[in-house]
Amino acid sequence: MNQKLKVSIVGASGYAGGELLRILLFHPKVEVHQVTSLDFIDQPVSRVHPNLRGITNLTFSKTQDLTPCDILFITIPNGKSMTLMNQLIKIAPRIIDSGADFRLNSAKEWQKWYGNKHQAPELINKFVYGIPELRKEEIKKANYVAGPGCEAIVSILSLWPLIKNGVIEKERIIIDAKMGSSQSGSSPKLSTHHPERRGVVRSYMPTGHRHTAEVEQELTVGNLKPEVFISATAIEMVRGLLVTIQAFLKQNLGEKEIWKIYREEYKNEPFIRIVKEYQGIYRYPEPKILQGTNFCEVGFEKDNSSNRLVIIGAVDNLVKGTAGNSVQCMNLMAGFPETLGLEFPGLHPV
């Protein structure tokens, strides 16, 4: 395909929308057509995203003023896109929604985890859950993709090879997730106010994390659904997400055998890095060195005194956790190389 894809973004003034715009503006096969915002209509993009000064002359439009495009990205708060989707599908034949509205397979599950009735249940089954490493062929053929939650994608990618190969117990998988502040979005509130957030290590959701539903859904093999328990902690970091997962081996596997399972499963996946070093300070995955990249790093260590396996996963929540993963899905849908526009390797030191 020689002609560039015409793409637009609904909700481009938020952190995820801005990151998506940054990536797409440098994508060689894409033309950014329109970007929308509720709060910054007719204002230049660079006023909200100063890193894009001199890069683009785009201004924010109203959602109602969108005109047809090839692919429409949606990066608006949970619960909003389902109220607009019947109108948005008329604007573009292919849609990638970064929010939670179409991630779960049923309206009943949505109501259970999000507390209100789904407004477009007839569209739920039209969306493919957007993790390329698990659903590559489905995404290639999809018209509508639902991007995963940032905590969900790193947990799923960290656990999938072990679940698929049946080497860990499904009855008790415990995930400790440490979150950077950007995952709470750009709308200010007391919990993100600088005097309240600075220096914090705050357990804000010890139980009942909504991404539990996604993780269990995507790690279900056959009719065997795992039991996943997530605790979330806010830490003083802007970008990044680290999960430390406690799982329990069914048999006494050695670390080399576990390594082989990961390597076999992810050997053709360009954005998965298995990290387990025996020297240096970056021996396990660490969000700091993933800033701005679309990589997910996964590492592990076996407890030699028990059958406990500690799995560690890290991503930049705004890139592989949201915007970069969406572009990876777009590349697959459009028949582009999967890595196109996502080659940035990160910085060190940061």
Query: Does 127 score more than 70 pLDDT?
Result: yes
- Point out the residues that are catalytic: 150
Rounded to an integer, the average pLDDT of 144-162 is 98
Rounded to an integer, the average pLDDT of 111-139 is 97
Q: Which domain holds residue 17?
A: 5-149+322-334
Q: Please check whether residues 141 and 14 belong to one and the same domain.
A: yes
Return the pLDDT at 1: 46
Return the pLDDT at 49: 97
Query: Does 334 score more than 50 pLDDT?
Result: yes
Provide the CATH number for the domain around residue 130: 3.40.50.720
Burial 142-166 (b: 16+ CB within 10 A, else e): bebbbbbbbbbbbbbbbbbbbbebe
Q: pLDDT for 311-321, tens place per residue?
A: 999 999 999 99
218 found inside a domain: yes
Q: Please check whether residues 171 and 65 belong to one and the same domain.
A: no
Q: Please check whether residues 157 and 306 belong to one and the same domain.
A: yes
Q: Please check whether residues 159 and 270 belong to one and the same domain.
A: yes
Q: Please check whether residues 87 and 105 belong to one and the same domain.
A: yes
Query: Does 350 score more than 80 pLDDT?
Result: yes
Burial 27-47 (b: 16+ CB within 10 A, else e): bebbebbbbbbeebeeeebbe
11 found inside a domain: yes
Q: Please check whether residues 137 and 162 belong to one and the same domain.
A: no
* CB distance 91 to 34 below 8 Å: no
40 found inside a domain: yes
Rounded to an integer, the average pLDDT of 193-220 is 92
- Domain total of the chain: 2
> What average pLDDT is seen over the chain?
95
Give the amino acid at 274.
I
Give the 3-state secondary structure of residue 211. Answer: helix
Provide the CATH number for the domain around residue 259: 3.30.360.10
217 found inside a domain: yes
To the question of pTM greater than 0.95 for the whole model, the response is yes
346 found inside a domain: no
Q: Please check whether residues 157 and 128 belong to one and the same domain.
A: no
Return the pLDDT at 197: 82
Q: Please check whether residues 314 and 282 belong to one and the same domain.
A: yes
Q: pLDDT for 64-118, tens place per residue?
A: 999 999 999 999 999 999 999 999 999 999 999 999 999 999 999 999 999 999 9
341 found inside a domain: no
Query: Does 191 score more than 70 pLDDT?
Result: yes
Task: State what percent of residues in the chain have pLDDT above 90.
Answer: 91
Q: Please check whether residues 95 and 189 belong to one and the same domain.
A: no
Rounded to an integer, the average pLDDT of 12-16 is 96
Q: pLDDT for 236-295, tens place per residue?
A: 989 999 999 999 999 999 999 999 999 999 999 999 999 999 999 999 999 999 999 999
Query: Does 165 score more than 90 pLDDT?
Result: yes
**DSSP symbol at 319:** I
Instruction: Name the band, by pLDDT with cuts 50, 70 and 90, for residue 193.
Output: confident
Burial 258-282 (b: 16+ CB within 10 A, else e): beebbeebbeeebbbbbbbeeeeee
Q: Please check whether residues 170 and 281 belong to one and the same domain.
A: yes
Q: Which residue has the higher pLDDT, 238 or 140?
A: 140
Tokens of 16: 């995820």
The C-alpha atoms of residue 109 and residue 91 are separated, in whole angstroms, by: 28
Q: Which residue has the higher pLDDT, 3 or 95?
A: 95
Backbone angles phi, psi at 181, to 5 degrees: -70, -25
343 found inside a domain: no
Return the pLDDT at 3: 87
Q: Please check whether residues 33 and 164 belong to one and the same domain.
A: no
Residues paired with residue 10 on neighbouring β-strands, in sequence order:
74
Q: Please check whether residues 139 and 10 belong to one and the same domain.
A: yes
Instruction: Name the band, by pLDDT with cuts 50, 70 and 90, for residue 44.
Output: very high
99 found inside a domain: yes
**DSSP symbol at 316:** -
